[in-house]
Amino acid sequence: MHTFSLFPGPLSKKEALQYNALQLAYVGDTVYDLFVRGALVRGGKKNVNQLHKEASAIVNCAAQSRALQAIDGLLSQDEKDLVRRGRNAHSRPPKNADPADYARATGLEALIGCLYLSGEGERLNEIMRLILEGGPSNAQGSL
């Protein structure tokens, strides 16, 4: 019988990069969403419906695409390569999504997923803070 561990600990960067870009984006999507929801809740008391509306305005492919474009200049070459892997991964965007925005959002999510899985919490926090606080190019707008 397999023993389930909530989080067995971080992977090495090399191990994290063994996953394909869509697997990294799968994890990154949830991590991104959790950061956004946490920031919204900490930002003041709001009802859950309002929190959901605000989160939905931030956690969507168009907003994530803009966020990536805003922080792109702050990414290392390795991070840019990982984003490119995610952006070029073959996935089918939803009907209502712009394919270019969807591809960029997938790239950002792949980066977030890799940082999370490899335990690079400081860098993950830095990137998410830039996005959520508006970053150097007003990545998302302040929460």
Residue 141 is classified by DSSP as -
- Segments of the chain assigned E as strands: none
Active site members? 29
Residue 118 is classified by DSSP as T
Angle at which helix 61-71 crosses helix 99-117, to 10 degrees, equals 70
Instruction: Report the distance separating Cα 97 and Cα 102, nearest Å.
Output: 6
Instruction: Report the distance separating Cα 106 and Cα 109, nearest Å.
Output: 5
